[in-house]
Amino acid sequence: MTEQTAPLSPARPAAEVPALEVRAVSHAFGARKALDDVTLTVPAGSFTALLGPNGAGKTTLFSLVTRLYDNRSGAIHVLGADVRRRPAEALSRLGVVFQARTLDLELSVLDNLLYHATLHGISFGAGRRRALELLAQDGLAERARDKVRNLSGGQMRRVEIVRALMHRPRLLLLDEPTVGLDIASRAAVVALVRALVANEGIGVLWATHIIEEIVPGDRVVVLHRGRVRASGCYEEMLAHAGGEDLSAAFLALVGDAGETAP
């Protein structure tokens, strides 16, 4: 059930261009191969879960998509833009939330967002309006002038999502965004991102090892030891692996899921 994706072409209708298309991408750190011929697709307006244990290669893949690492094999397209050949165009179309927190704790919530807006060439006035609009939508308007260090872990993560949306991307990458959060905060973050998919048609790649965050109807890509083991919709995954639930299907696909990539 591993995906085979068709090459993008200028004649392809906009509605059919995936939010993210990764084709035959490999990456190594010295002798250790972190990704091995990875191919996956995130359709526009979809919630796609990248499911894999720690060490599966999820963060390496995100680093390649965001150009922190250079992909020297295969191809990566963000809404049709090749990240190597047209990096500025590709990066302008995506927002990213990494697992490690990257907000400046000594700045206010609003100043963190305005700094990000400046990096994307957004004027102060437009950035301020956009930031206050997004904070209001997320129920954080009253925290706009608070220092980030005074927020809870869940609130910090929600501010990072708001920051990723400042320049109106059409693809959102989230790398283990709920790690370390309590149950209520985790649910709030998941709900926020799912609402972006449902209401604004943003394509989401949600990297996680928490199976409970994936629900029927989601697209799922199982990554283990740097390779895509299976991909498809939730229901196809169950049928393919023969499990009664996604947890059983996942274990059937990866076997030794507790081990990290070599």
Q: How far is CA 197 from CA 31, 42, 45, 88, 188, in A?
A: 39, 12, 6, 24, 15
pLDDT at 77: 97
SS3 (DSSP) at 137: helix
In this predicted model, what pLDDT tens digit does every residue of 8-26 receive, in sequence order?
Answer: 334 444 557 999 999 999 9
pLDDT at 72: 86
The pLDDT confidence band at residue 253, using thresholds 50, 70 and 90, is confident
pLDDT at 235: 87
197: which residues sit within 8 A by CB, 6+ positions away? 45, 46, 47, 203, 204
User: Which one of 10-14, 52-56, 242-246 scores highest in mean pLDDT?
Assistant: 52-56
Average the pLDDT over 90-105 and give the result.
Answer: 94
Residue 117 sits in the same domain as residue 188: no
- Last residue of one domain, picked from the residues 118, 149, 168: 168
Rounded Cα–Cα distance for residues 47 and 67 (Å): 22
Lowest average pLDDT, out of 69-78, 222-231, 252-261, goes to 252-261
Residue 183 sits in the same domain as residue 234: yes
Token representation of residue 195: 């609402």
**Cα 40 off chain centre by:** 13
In 3D space, the residue among 124, 222, 256 whose CA is nearest the CA of residue 116 turns out to be 124
Residue 181 sits in the same domain as residue 260: yes
Contact between residue 1 and residue 230 where contact means Cβ atoms under 8 Å apart: yes
pLDDT at 259: 44
In this predicted model, what pLDDT tens digit does every residue of 146-156 receive, in sequence order?
Answer: 999 999 999 99
- Last residue of one domain, picked from the residues 168, 184, 217: 168
Would you say residue 98 lies in a domain?
no
Residue 77 sits in the same domain as residue 56: yes
Average the pLDDT over 191-212 and give the result.
Answer: 94
We report the CATH number of the domain holding residue 210 as 3.40.50.300
Pairing between β-strand 203-208 and β-strand 47-51 as defined by DSSP bridges: parallel
pLDDT at 54: 86
The pLDDT confidence band at residue 174, using thresholds 50, 70 and 90, is very high
Would you say residue 229 lies in a domain?
yes
Contact between residue 173 and residue 95 where contact means Cβ atoms under 8 Å apart: yes
Token representation of residue 101: 């927190």
Q: In this structure, what are the phi and psi dihedrals at residue 116, rounded to the nearest 5 degrees?
A: -65, -40
pLDDT at 238: 82
Average the pLDDT over 101-117 and give the result.
Answer: 96
Contact between residue 19 and residue 172 where contact means Cβ atoms under 8 Å apart: no
- Last residue of one domain, picked from the residues 134, 149, 168: 168
User: Across the chain, which distance is largest between two alpha carbons, in Å?
Assistant: 55
pLDDT at 7: 36
In this predicted model, what pLDDT tens digit does every residue of 114-134 receive, in sequence order?
Answer: 999 999 999 999 999 999 999
The domain of 233 spans: 1-93+170-262
The residue with tokens 């370390």 is 180
In 3D space, the residue among 20, 21, 26 whose CA is nearest the CA of residue 6 turns out to be 21
- Secondary structure, 3-state, 190-254: HHHHHHHHHHHCCEEEEEECCHHHCCCCCEEEEEECCEEEEEEEHHHHHHHHCCCCHHHHHHHHH
Q: Could you tell me the sign of the dihedral formed by the alpha carbons of 63, 68, 70, 74, in that order?
A: positive
The secondary element (H helix, E strand) that includes residue 155 is helix 153-165
pLDDT surpassing 90 at residue 168: yes
Average the pLDDT over 225-241 and give the result.
Answer: 87
pLDDT at 4: 37
Residue 188 sits in the same domain as residue 261: yes
